[in-house]
């Protein structure tokens, strides 16, 4: 073969870079909802309301009663890498907020049209401003507003034809959004959540702030789930320092479902941990004769320095120290809980 000159390397246009990155952070409408709701939680809200049109492709609107956004910050609000939550890399080690990268709002403006309405404490009126490709489209306009922030994302992926095509099935993402809000609602029980389709009178998720997790689970997942749960707890601080603490509610031997529901929070972050889910499914099928798929809610707390939150663009996964120890311990606690509840039932039936 004849050797050829290597192709010339160009520097990509910033707008191209931003749109590519945005497509990773905001993979589908439900990812935008997750980022917006997490921002509302970070803002200290006690009430978060979501409205969705066309599975989120036409409209996503999240309203909260949090601390709002300062007028002076509005010009850079939707630029990439602007955040109020992190300043040094080391802060990541102890970060308590869901957000830290300052990319979510920016990303939404690169793949959709974003309008923000916000008011801060003590102000007589709020401001409304729209953004496209990271920048304000006009000066913020004074407007009437109630406490907090409302963010509207319209025409998501209008400029990404392939993405839009693969997301045509609106019902699919609406159910993912409902599922997401249900998960948040049973963890953040001091916050009231609602989610509805645009124009619908009835909300499909509706939770009221409560002291008891079981109440939240009942109002979100229904009586049949709430009726059949066992409390579990596990921890491991045998070594010189604490490894983890877990508390949760798991379905008992009377519960019947075709699919596993695993709602997991690690240090208050909603995450997927497939290895733990599999491990618990194994315990269920080995311990309960009916072998129904479980419903599992778990909150795991580990020392901040044991978790790396920066391993996934959507923050859907985290990387943990001592994974095997944690899984083993939780497995054995769940197994003995299931055994004793199953024996109690068998005993009842024989009486």
Which residue in the set 39, 150, 192, 252 belongs to the binding site for Mg ion (CB under 5 A)? 39
Interacting residues of 223 by C-beta distance below 8 A, sequence separation 6+: none
Closest contact distance (angstroms) between CB of 100 and Mg ion is 8
Q: What residues make contact with ligand ADP under the rule CB under 6 A?
A: 35, 39-40, 43, 64, 66-69, 77, 83-85, 99-106, 149
Distance CA 59, CA 200 (A): 14
Cβ-based nearer residue to ligand ADP, 56 or 66: 66
- Give which of Mg ion, ligand ADP, none residue 29 binds (C-beta under 5 to 8 Å, depending on kind): none
Residue 62 contacts Mg ion per CB under 5 A: no
Closest contact distance (angstroms) between CB of 102 and Mg ion is 7
* Neighbour-count burial of 86, counting CB atoms closer than 10 A to its CB (0-12 exposed, 13-18 middle, 19+ buried): middle
What is the DSSP annotation of 103-121? Answer: -HHHHHHHHSEEEEEEE-T
Distance CA 134, CA 79 (A): 5
- Give which of ligand ADP, Mg ion, none residue 102 binds (C-beta under 5 to 8 Å, depending on kind): ligand ADP
Number of H helices, E strands in the chain: 9, 16
Task: Report CA torsion sign: 123, 128, 133, 137.
Answer: negative
With beta carbons less than 8 A apart as the criterion, state whether 78 and 151 touch. no
Closest contact distance (angstroms) between CB of 186 and ligand ADP is 21
Closest contact distance (angstroms) between CB of 130 and Mg ion is 19
- Give which of ligand ADP, Mg ion, none residue 83 binds (C-beta under 5 to 8 Å, depending on kind): ligand ADP
Which residue in the set 99, 126, 134, 148 belongs to the binding site for Mg ion (CB under 5 A)? 99
Residue 104 contacts Mg ion per CB under 5 A: yes
Which residues make up the interface to Mg ion (CB under 5 A)? 39, 99, 104
């Amino acid at each position: 073969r004849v050797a050829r000159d290597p192709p010339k390397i160009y520097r990509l246009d910033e707008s191209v870079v931003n749109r590519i990155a945005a497509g990773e952070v905001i993979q589908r409408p439900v990812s935008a909802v997750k980022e917006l709701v997490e921002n509302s939680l970070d803002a200290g809200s006690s009430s978060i309301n979501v409205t969705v049109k066309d599975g989120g492709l036409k409209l996503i609107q999240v309203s909260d009663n949090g601390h709002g956004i300062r007028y002076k910050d509005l010009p850079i609000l939707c630029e990439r890498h602007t955040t109020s939550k992190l300043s040094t890399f080391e802060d990541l080690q102890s970060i308590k907020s869901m957000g830290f990268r300052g990319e979510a709002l920016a990303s939404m403006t690169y793949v959709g049209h974003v309008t923000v309405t916000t008011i801060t404490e003590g102000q007589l009126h709020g401001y409304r401003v729209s953004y496209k490709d990271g920048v304000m489209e006009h000066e913020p306009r004074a407007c009437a507003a109630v406490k907090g922030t409302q963010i509207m994302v319209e025409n998501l992926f209008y400029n990404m034809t392939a993405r839009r095509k693969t997301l045509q099935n609106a019902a699919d993402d609406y159910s993912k959004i409902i599922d997401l809000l249900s998960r948040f609602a049973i963890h953040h029980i001091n916050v009231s959540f609602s989610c509805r389709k645009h124009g619908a009178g009835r909300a499909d998720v509706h939770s009221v702030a409560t002291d008891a997790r079981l109440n939240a689970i009942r109002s979100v997942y229904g009586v049949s789930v709430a009726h059949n749960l066992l409390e579990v707890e596990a921890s491991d601080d045998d070594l010189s320092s604490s490894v983890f603490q877990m508390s949760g509610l798991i379905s008992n031997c009377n519960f019947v479902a075709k699919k596993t529901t695993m709602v997991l929070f690690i240090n208050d972050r909603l995450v997927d941990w497939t290895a733990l889910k599999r491990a618990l499914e194994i315990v269920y099928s080995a311990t309960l004769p009916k072998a129904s798929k479980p419903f599992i809610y778990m909150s795991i707390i580990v020392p901040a320095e044991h978790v790396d939150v920066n391993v996934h663009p959507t923050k859907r996964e985290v990387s943990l120290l001592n994974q095997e120890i944690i899984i083993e311990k939780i497995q054995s606690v769940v197994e003995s809980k299931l055994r004793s509840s199953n024996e109690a039932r068998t005993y009842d039936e024989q009486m």
